Amino acid sequence: MPDALEIYNSLNSAYGPAVWWSDDAYTVMVEAILVQNTTWSSVVKVIKALPQELTPLYISSLADAELESLIRPCGFAKRKSMTIIHITDWFRQFGYDVEKITPLDKNELRNHLLSIKGIGNETADVMLVYAFHKPSFVVDAYTRRFLMRMGYRFNTDDAIKNFFDGCLDYNYRLYGWYHWLLLQHGMNRCKKTPTCHGCIFKNKCETFISTVGISNLSDNINVP
């Protein structure tokens, strides 16, 4: 099976160049909360529809019900609005200044984020990479499904992180690009019902090979 760097190079050839999130750390924090259990297109719709620029001061000026109404297209509006309020309050402790946060050790900062109600491992890692530029591999459902189908057997998300950490340069941009590339592959090919026709990993994918048989590998075969 290919190692993490081989997988990255294949993904980059197929889907690159990778796309980055917003350059504004607070926007990343809010978007990372909004995208929980919904589509990215819904997040874009909400952000574009805001009557003012997305800033912590603007969000702090809103009544709870008003914030809920603005983010309702993303679903779970009440829960997500409270998490946005909590992350904004946390950010206020640093004077809304990212430069006061980035000196924190990655694990210390991760614990800060995980202590905020509504922020789990995946959301915290997205914030670490895209908002605070800390290399922390984002493990999501797309990544787990892809690795499982390829034939890797990891029992925990920490084991998955170790797999990537062991092969990659410790660079936050590389981690961020890798996450985006896996996301693209998961949405376009390795879906719940995969589209294996033309997949770049077809000849290395345990699930595909076991389904069609090693002697039948062909671009003309599509596994439902």
pLDDT at 218 > cutoff 60: no
Q: How confident is the model at residue 222 (pLDDT cuts 50, 70, 90)?
A: very low
pLDDT at 223 > cutoff 80: no
Question: Each residue of 195-215: pLDDT tens digit?
Answer: 998 999 999 999 999 887 554
Whole-number percent of the chain with pLDDT over 90: 89
List C-alpha distances in Å: 110 to 79, 120, 123, 132, 205: 21, 10, 10, 10, 33
Average pLDDT over residues 114-141: 97
pLDDT (0 to 100) of residue 221:
42
pLDDT (0 to 100) of residue 220:
43
Backbone angles phi, psi at 192, to 5 degrees: -55, -45
Q: 10 Å Cβ neighbour count for 39?
A: 13
Q: 10 Å Cβ neighbour count for 191?
A: 12
Does residue 219 or residue 87 have the better pLDDT? 87
Quick one: fold of 25-131?
A: Endonuclease III; domain 1 (1.10.340)
| CA-based radius of gyration for the chain | 19
Question: Each residue of 187-197: pLDDT tens digit?
Answer: 999 999 999 98
Range scoring the smallest mean pLDDT among 76-85, 129-138, 193-202, 213-222: 213-222
pLDDT (0 to 100) of residue 224:
35
Both tokens assigned to 174: 């590389």
**How many angstroms separate the CA atoms of 126 and 111, rounded?**
14
**How many angstroms separate the CA atoms of 121 and 111, rounded?**
10
Q: What is the pTM of this model?
A: 0.91
pLDDT (0 to 100) of residue 212:
72
Average pLDDT over residues 127-142: 97
The residue written with tokens 């592959």 in the block is 185
Q: What is the DSSP string of 164-215?
A: HHTTS-S-HHHHHHHHHHHHHHHHHTSSSS---TT-TTGGG-HHHHHHH-GG
pLDDT (0 to 100) of residue 27:
97
pLDDT at 100 > cutoff 50: yes
Question: Each residue of 7-61: pLDDT tens digit?
Answer: 999 999 999 888 889 999 999 999 999 999 999 999 999 999 999 999 999 999 9
Q: What is the CATH number of domain 4-18+138-216?
A: 1.10.1670.10
Q: Return the domain boundaries, the chain.
A: 4-18+138-216, 25-131
pLDDT (0 to 100) of residue 19:
85
pLDDT at 111 > cutoff 80: yes
The residue written with tokens 């595909």 in the block is 208
